[in-house]
Amino acid sequence: MKAKILKSNFAKALTQVSKIVGNRTTLPVLNNILISFENGKIVFSATDLEIGITTQIIGKVVEEGKITLPARILNDFVNNNRDESIEITIENLTALLKSDHFEAKIMGISDDEFPSIPVPTKECLVKITKKDLFDALKKVSIASATDETRPVLAGVYFQFLGGELVLAATDSYRLAEKKIKLESNVKDILAIVPNRTITEVLRLLSSIDDKEMVSIYLDENQISFKLMETFVISRLIEGSFPDYNQIVPSEFKTSFKAKLSDISSAVKMASLFAKDSANNNIKVKIEEKKVVIFSVDTQSGSAKSDLSAEVTGDKLEIAFNARYVTDAINVISDQEVVFKFNQSSSPGLIQSQKDKNYTYIIMPLKADE
């Protein structure tokens, strides 16, 4: 087994797959990356038994074969290597890596011990531009639950509904939804994709051009994303996602529109004195021609910001967790943002002025929290 690989390609492939490699002492092969030399291509694969990532690069394959090598050592050798290409030769589960100035021997594990990574059994369901998918996942994933007390909330809900893909996530305190128009109609399919998978897909999407197409494959209990030469394969979360549409208000009594930059600055200022409170509490006071965002802490002090805003409806004072507001502001790229409310105890809505396909619902705090 022998091949020659450009160092830049080698390093890129390792970066693509090695992030999911853990430190499982009970199954040492999961600390390794499977490298396959076949058909003039070099395939790199890694898995943690829940997510699998496979990518391929072009190299000069002299002799075909497979082996698994420890991800950490392999990464360190390749990333610290300043030569243009690296030759890798495998004999008796030992890899000899050699370049113009460097040489290393790395002990491997037989590929027979490496878990099989499933491949899609059905045809591609949809293709979406990287820009659209990246934007949607980034905006929705902020609302998913960070713990797995309720597994169905620890992921992003994919709803393929005819000519539309609707993504949603909630941790019970806020809800984010983003709609993407599809180029073709598909049959209605629902799936919940784990947070860790979404994190990996976002990481990989960030390295490709906005115009590239991402192919999505959906099987009974797994989902696959094809990003150029890289496949991400993941299990799905079992269970039913909450029917969140029933908590989304159909109309609002009070709203205001303001510059996103002004809102961001005001929330950050109020957050300075909200960090010590149990719920990171900030208050939004809506008056006739302005909005006041403030926080008060009996120990550290207080802060207040007056905003110029276009106000409609009744006066209102409502409290929120500052981090939940900040999360929404950070993913909205519009110059203006709209806030809508009914009363101090009802969910509020944060929405981009231009992107009506993105909705962020946030539950208020009690006034004394």
Q: Can you give the pLDDT of all 369 residues of the chain as single tens digits?
A: 899 999 999 999 999 999 999 776 688 999 999 999 988 899 999 999 999 999 999 999 999 999 999 999 999 999 999 999 999 999 999 999 999 999 999 999 999 999 999 988 889 999 999 999 999 999 999 999 998 889 999 999 999 999 999 999 999 999 999 999 998 899 899 999 999 999 999 999 999 999 999 999 999 899 999 999 999 999 999 999 999 988 888 899 999 999 999 999 999 999 988 876 667 899 999 998 899 999 987 677 889 999 999 999 999 999 999 999 999 999 999 999 999 999 999 999 999 988 989 999 999 998 655
pLDDT for the residue numbered 367: 61
Question: What tokens does 187 get?
Answer: 């049959």
Measured CA to CA in angstroms, residue 211 lies from 97, 166, 208, 214, 227 at distances of 36, 21, 8, 9, 12
DSSP 151-178: GGGSEEEEEEEEEEEEEEEE-SSEEEEE
Q: Which residue has the tokens 């797994």?
A: 222
Q: What is the pTM of this model?
A: 0.92
Question: What tokens does 246 get?
Answer: 């029933």
pLDDT for the residue numbered 280: 87
DSSP 194-253: EHHHHHHHHHHHTTS-TT-EEEEEE-SSEEEEEETTEEEEEEPPPS----GGGGS-S--S
DSSP 18: H
Rounded CA-CA distance 156/244 in Å is 13
Rounded CA-CA distance 348/344 in Å is 9
pLDDT for the residue numbered 235: 97
Residue environment code for 235-273, b if the CB has 16+ CB neighbours within 10 A, otherwise e: bbbeeebbeeeeeeeeebebbbbbbbebbbebbebbbbb
pLDDT for the residue numbered 368: 57
| Rg, C-alpha atoms of the chain | 25
Sequence letter at residue 69: L
Rounded CA-CA distance 198/202 in Å is 6
- Outline where 80-153 has alpha helix (H): 130-141
pLDDT for the residue numbered 345: 92
Q: Which domains does the chain have, with CATH numbers?
A: 2-113 (3.10.150.10), 126-245 (3.10.150.10), 250-362 (3.10.150.10)
